[in-house]
Chains A and B, each alone.
Chain A
Amino acid sequence: MALLRLVLPLLLLAALWEGAVALLQISPFYLPPLRQVLGAIWALGPAYAQAFMVTLGEAVAGFVVGGLVGVVSATAFHHQRWLRDMLFPLFVASQTVPVIAFGAIVVLWFGNTLLAKAAIAFYLTFFPVTVNALAGFEAVDPRQVALLRSFGASRRDIWWKLLLPSALPRIFTALRLSAGLALAGAIVGEWFGASIGVGAMLLAALFNEQVVAMWAAILTAAAVGGAIFGVVALVEARLVFWRDEL
């Protein structure tokens, strides 16, 4: 049933794509038939698989570190009011910086490595997680904290047994958003001189004006996004099972 809900929109979209191309006589310059795009991927299978893996690795590295840093800084902000007053505005300001413009500089710092792309993915990821985790911590009922303290609980106990679980639903909302942002960061990071990866493929297709290759790269990007998103959703379903019943 869950699988059906996943596959059905994909099939529908595919049918719509093929049907529109055939019926409306769309020029292949705009939208080549899906068959042709899938054929291109099939013909260069290993290359696309490699691009998939490389971009996935970059995005996931930044995503994971960004998520952890987000939760840790939210914890620090929650416990130290002055730290929050001091740094939170900087966090907000950092998000108005068009990080993508940083791409060139980040690549200059880290070289053309996984680290450079992961750093950009990280920069886009940590902020939503910080904001939502903090909101989650702040929303905890103070009476609940008092109860745990009356049991003699330490700060650590309270964090593990109360604050973190209470904030999990909001943290996952942020993680789902961040999954897409991390991927965008990785792709754009590849535009500054990378030779492998989905972003590199997109750029190559643009320079050669190959619409089919471009759509093939877009589908690969969708696969990367779907993979990260899927894992996050699965983990969420396991950890936040009690949310629906609230």
Chain B
Amino acid sequence: MNAALARGLGGGVLLLVLWEAVVRLAAIPPWILPPPSGIVATTWSARGPLLDAGAMTLFEAVTGYGIGAVLGLVLAMLLALATPVRKLVLPMVVVVNSVPVAAYAPLALLWFGTGALSKVVMVAFIVGFTVFLNALDGLLRVDPAAVALLRSFGAGPLGVLWRLRLPTALPAIMVGMRVSTVRSMIVAIVTEMLGSQKGLGWTIFEAVLQIDFLRVWAAILVASLISLGCFAAVSALERRVVFWR
């Protein structure tokens, strides 16, 4: 085990110990800040419903993520090919993007109801935007001299896209995908909190109403673990795809 890893683990353990000690010594009531041991105990005893809720949220997040990533990528490639359209569309995209997605959540609920659809749409929306902007930036940031060289070999716009732009943009695309994982979970939860009958967001909302803050913390713990897992998975994928970095 290397020193950095040891220090990182040490930091995590230190935080937990400190948290536990402060809560116990200062006798902080659990509704203000429960000790880590209490959160873990609650999570364990409520593992059944929490896992169900987590699975629901994960399903919404993953579905929306897939749809959004594909749409964002395809759109970015289309706009990378069509310069005039891009010059027209891009500023408008930036304006629409300047509104935080959270603000669109009520609209999605109104349009698509309180079922899973509204969450999937919201997740696809944010993931799509993130991937689109990152991918487009990467696709356009190629060396003009390299483009000229490929064109001199007789490559058309599609050839340039496939052989030059896409590989060049891969790191940027993967960054967008990685950042999107965490966002997709957050957006799914936020939308659930506003209106749903299932999922972690709904669990949190219910727990707040019942003033059961230990359950709120337990749900946060489950959500964080799922996010961390997705993040790690996409990071691993990134290391594979962008091996030359």
Contacts and interface: CB of A to CB of B under 8 A. Distances in A.
Contact of B95 (A9, A88, A89): A9
B95 A222 contact: yes
A86 B10 contact: yes
Per CB-CB distance, the 7 closest pairs between chain A and chain B, nearest first, are A9-B91, A184-B100, A86-B11, A85-B7, A206-B106, A96-B227, A89-B8
Nearest to B94: A9
A179 to B, nearest CB: 9
A61 interface: no
B159 interface: no
B79 to A, nearest CB: 15
| Majority SS at the chain B contact face | helix
Residue of A30, A192, A209, A218 most packed against chain B (CB within 10 A): A218
Interface of B: 3-4, 7-8, 10-12, 14-15, 31-32, 88, 91-92, 94-107, 109-111, 182, 185-186, 189-190, 193-195, 200-201, 204, 208, 213, 216-217, 219-220, 223-224, 227-228, 231
Nearest to B107: A214
A43 interface: no
22 contacts: A5-B91, A13-B96, A85-B4, A85-B7, A86-B7, A86-B11, A89-B12, A90-B12, A95-B182, A98-B189, A108-B32, A184-B101, A187-B102, A191-B194, A202-B103, A206-B109, A209-B110, A211-B110, A214-B110, A221-B99, A221-B100, A222-B98
Contacts of B3: 85
B193 to A, nearest CB: 7
A64 B167 CA distance: 37
A62 interface: no
A9 B93 CA distance: 9
B99 A218 contact: yes
A87 B110 contact: no
Interface of A: 5, 8-10, 12-13, 16, 29-30, 82, 85-90, 93, 95-102, 104-105, 108-109, 180-181, 183-184, 187-188, 191-192, 198-199, 202-203, 205-206, 209, 211, 214-215, 217-218, 221-222, 225-226, 229
